[in-house]
Structure formats: C-alpha cells, structure tokens
Chains A and B, each alone.
Chain A
C-alpha cells in the first residue's frame, strides 16, 4: 500500500436503514487508528449537511481518496463524485461501497451483516488505492441531423427539428417521401382523408430551407459516435435533373413501357419513367433503369427528345455524399407480412383475395379504380369478408399483435358498406380497440349491420362460379360455418421493414426478438437506442398507428434538439486503453469488440484502438493474453485488490 495516500471512509447510517443492522460504532472503533485511514459516520451523507461534512473533512485532513459506504452506487455515486470534485479530489478517486441494498437490507443476522459490511468497506478501501484520476472529455456536437426514412415519422421529426433552426438531411430510398401513409385513403377512427393531412406536411418539407431532401437515396456507411457521426449516403441516379425538371409530365405520356405500379400495389400500370403518385415530393419523374428501353436495349430515348427543359440525363451516375451529423433518427417504417405463406387463404391463387394495402389503393380516389370497390372482373361485390390477424398472433408466423388491424378492418367495413352496400363479415380472434375513439367507432360499425364472427378461418376455397367459401369455426356459436363471399380482404401482420437488419448492422443497433429495433427502455426511453445519439421513431420500433407514430417522432425530435443544443457532449472516460508494447497482434480483441473500436494495424502488426468508439464493456480486456489492454476504472489491479479485500 502506498503510504502517502490519506483515505477518508464515510459510513452512512441512512437513518436506521443501515445503522439498524450494522454496528457502525463498533466497526469504526475496531478499525480506528489504522494508518492513513480516517473513519467518519453521519445519519445521512446524501443530505446537504452530510455533503458539507464530507467536504469539510477532506479539507481539514487533506484526504486524497474517499470511500463512501452507503446505498447502491446507482443512487448516489454521482452525488458523491460531485462532492469530491468540489472539494478538489478527482471524481474517479472515490469508491462507493454498497452496504445497504447488498448488505443491511438482505441480511437477517446483525453480527453477520456487520462482518459483511466490514469486508465490503475494506474491499473498496483496497480498490480506491489503485484507482487513477480520470478526466471527462468534451466533444463538440455537429449541429446537423440525419433522418433515415421519409414516411410520416421522418417527415414529422424533420419538420420539428428544422423549425427549431437545425439543419436536417432527410434520406428516403423511394423516389418520393410519403411512405405508407401516402397510400392510405381514410384514417381510423375519425375517417379523415390521409392525403389531405399528409400532403401539406410533405409540401412543408419541400419548402423548408433547413431540410435537405435526398430521395432515391440510401445510407451505406456510418462511423463515429454521438455528436460526430460520419455518414456515407448513396444518391441513386434518378436520370432526371431535379433542378431543370418542372414536373410537366410530357415524358411520362410518351413513354412506351408499362409495368406494375409499386405505389398501387400492382393494381395499376406505370411507365418506365414515372412519378410515383400525383402529390409526390419532389414532383419529378424517375427512370426505372431495369425496365427502360434505353437502358435495357439501348433504343427509344423518346423522353429525352420530348423534354422541353432537357432535364433527362441518361449518363447520370450515383452520387456519394459524405457528411457529418450530430444525431440520427431512424424511421424506416414497416413491411406487410406476405400472406402467400398462408397457402390456405389463397392469396395470389384466387383473384379476389386482397391485402389491406391493396384495398387502401382501391378505396383511394386517386387509386386504380378511382375509389370504387370492384372485383377483378369489374363487378361490385355483394358479400365481403375481412380476415383479421393474418400472420399475426399466430405461433406459426408472428406471435405479436399488429396493433392496428382491428381498427382498419372496422374502417374497411364502414367504407365498403357505404360505397357498395355489400354484406360484410369480420373474422376476428379478439377485437382490440384500445385507441381513442375505437369503441365508439365499433358501435357505429355495428349499427351499420356489419357482422362479426369470432373465429380464425381454417381455409378459403373457390367455387366454379368464382365465389370464395370461408370455412371457420364460430367460437361463440360453437359451430363450423361455411360462408360464401365475393371478395376476401386479408389484414396481414405488420413486419419489420426490409432494410431493418442491414441498417441495424450499419448503425450498430440491436433488434428485439420480433425483429423490430430495440428501444433503450420500453417505458422511459422509448425512442432512444443503446447507441448514444441514435433514435428510432414509428413502426420500425414496433407496430403502431399514426398518432403514436407522430408522438414518437415528436419525442425523437425533442431528444435530438436537446442533444444538439448542449453544443458539447461529455464522453465517459471509462474506456479501454492499449499498451502497444505489450500487444502481440493476435487479434482476439478485434473479433470480440462489438463497436469496431479495435482494428488491425497491418503496418505495425498490432491492434489499434479508437477510444472514441469504445463504450467501456471490457470484453477485450479480459481476453487479452498479454495484458496489453486495460479498462479505465475497472483495471485488473483495481478488481483484484477488491477481490482480496472482500474475501
């Protein structure tokens, strides 16, 4: 033990919480007089007076290190670090001995509790001798925000942050922003028109000077850390110069190629040069190079000839943007479960089995049928079945509840009944109408005469006359029923977006067991992630409706604004340290590091550590054979000394 250190040991009574079990007086008496150790006790060290007492003793006795034996360090370690700092001791030269949660509160016998407390206190005295002063580093935060995904969540967050005067890059992989909400007709339960509430927001994004919109673009690489992310964005070649194009549409008119429209879920055709939907932002076409005759057969070129503004550029190449960002919001939305996997429901085998998104397009006044609900042969259906929970709440596919299907199925029931007067059957397991106004909406739909059958259909068969017969056990009647209908609507599970996994890898985010992004805390940090400075919003975090998505986007924006307005961020000094001389270059640590903080330096044949990327888990340290790596504040010496003291 080094002798020049003077250690103050402050034992808290915590009222009777500690003093009631542990004989503090005896403990101090027994150990007083030990060289360089100064024991004190006090009813509550966390109180203002208690803190002043510690400071006074530090100054009076020139203490150099302190041990506070009190409650769990999770509660007051920060408090006592601050006290130490104010009294002139480095905050990392204190150690908190947990003698309440892990001693007085869990031990019945007083004598044993006192004995254990003594061991715990001495383990921290041992440890604090080896602790080293550490300094919190401050790093400036780049006042620019990256938002990945231009659906309602991304749009909402972008507008909030841009309106607070911050620079935002909004990256969307499709040619237009809008996301799934742009495809919807009406929204439940108020039945307001989705595009009437969405398109003004899209226009605001276009007009806002603080937002840089990168459509038809994808994030390829992300490195760095909170406040300083380095991001590589690929802007795919649109083949149309956005600065010259006015969106007149004459090129689209003349294009000879017709393919299925993705926006209309394949229910209509689009050209090879196209604007995804009328309200698209940016309102400029894009050339689909996979289907365009110029790119596939090197002929045609009619769009270039016809364009009055010579905006068509066949030679356009992908553009790479490298930019620094202070924070990132991920809002990449969801994908729909593919009902083809449930063979017995006949999706794609029977023409009049539709998914919910297809019905949204049919209901839409800008959709392929201009809002008419018709069968593939053009007839109006007389009987329509809506099947809930297709692939969700199903052990064979997705076990979770998709949260929104009950209410949108009710919405379909109402709208289709209104437009076609058809008889409507809902096949449900449970109706989960937890959203505001949900129950009233259900009653309204019931009054319209919509029928509800509690049971999951076993199969759907098509008769020769085209009628689809649904076989189902009506669990309320306790009978097997066969119901013939003209049209079947499947409400498929909300699944993680297609890019979720690849983006999780790029960003270093973790996924929950159902494949959505994992939030830091389900209740108190619902949009934060385990990676500092990266936030999530909307359906990429889990199935949810529009109001909840907007609320999350708002929270993510608030988190980002409060982060950026701090201007500087403190970086925890508890990171790994590499002594190059001891490194043999075996590379074991490189494989283990979850944050790529360790790389192989092929010139020196040694590991290379980037401390800014290190989160301080210490997995590499305990794997290093040569003792080249150590973790500050949890160095081998510190823990070994603690082990010696506690046993």
Chain B
C-alpha cells in the first residue's frame, strides 16, 4: 500500500490563514493530508519548528504569509521568505530534499489560490515520496 504523505503548513493569522478559511467557506477541497497551524506572522516560524516537523514525520512543510508590502507587521513575510532559503540549505546538508520546504504569498482573499497551492505542492511531494527521515524512523 502507498504510504501516506504528511504535509504541514504554517499560516500567518492575517493573510494566509484567512485565505485557507476562505477556501473552506467557498467549499474548495484539497488533500486531507495537508494540516495547518496558525502563527501570528510568517516571521514567527523558526528553523526549530520546521526541523521538528520533519523529525516528527512531516514529508513536507510550507510557510505562507501576506503578499510583499501587505504584511500586518510591515516586513515579517519578507524575513520569513529569506529564512526559508537558509533552512532549505540546512535541509540539503542533512539529506532532505530542499523541495520539501517552500514559501508562498497568499492573501486573505485568495481562497482559490490557497487550494491551488495546496494541490500543486501535494502533487509535487507525492511524486517525491515519503521523506527519508521518516523511513529511518528517527523520531
């Protein structure tokens, strides 16, 4: 049997989380394997959290925040985007494909975009298969 994919998304409270809610109110469906956690700002997501997610069995992680210039806290989204780049290189060193981590800009009005992002990201990770960390059962 095919192993289940587990994807964790960190969504900023002001834009991306509202966008995900809108996807719900608009009854747009996306894979149930995508689970979401609310953060006050995408800039709150630390390397620790992302690595922990991989350690605990996530096959992929994404962070989504407001569009550039729309950040509720001025620039947290841009800082988050830069941080993700750094963490990608860390993943690379420990043998996790950097593709398994991504950053998206999603506004509160982009329910449809959220669905698309979720589906596309899921398809990409499904192709990659489960993360090696999971196979090694390092938990």
Contacts and interface: CB of A to CB of B under 8 A. Distances in A.
B32 A618 contact: no
A631 interface: yes
Contacts of B35: 116, 119-120, 123, 646-647
Interface string B78-89: 011001000000
A592 B76 CA distance: 9
B40 A634 contact: yes
A618 B43 contact: yes
Nearest to B24: A101
Contacts of B45: 622
A592 B57 CA distance: 31
B56 interface: yes
A617 B41 contact: yes
A194 interface: no
A594 interface: yes
Contact of A643 (B44, B49, B76): B49
Interface string A486-512: 000000000000000000000010101
A101 B20 contact: yes
B65 to A, nearest CB: 11
Nearest to B134: A647
A477 interface: no
Contacts of B29: 106-108
Nearest to A622: B46
A592 B78 CA distance: 11
Contacts of B6: 647
Contacts, number: 126
Nearest to A96: B38
B34 to A, nearest CB: 9
Contacts of B20: 101-102
B116 interface: no
A619 B69 contact: no
Contacts of A115: 32
A259 B83 CA distance: 56
B21 interface: yes
Contacts of B137: none
A109 B115 CA distance: 16
B30 interface: yes
Which of A107, A116, A592, A639 has most chain B Cβ within 10 Å? A639
Contacts of A621: 44, 46
Given A617-B73, A621-B44, A640-B49, A107 B21 contact: no
B24 A619 contact: no
Contacts of A642: 37
A116 B30 CA distance: 12
A115 to B, nearest CB: 7
Contacts of B23: 101, 106
Contact of A106 (B28, B39, B75): B28
A463 interface: no
3 tightest A-B CB contacts, nearest first: A101-B24, A618-B44, A622-B46
16 contacts: A102-B24, A106-B30, A119-B35, A123-B37, A510-B74, A513-B69, A592-B79, A617-B72, A619-B41, A619-B75, A619-B79, A622-B46, A634-B39, A634-B40, A646-B37, A647-B58
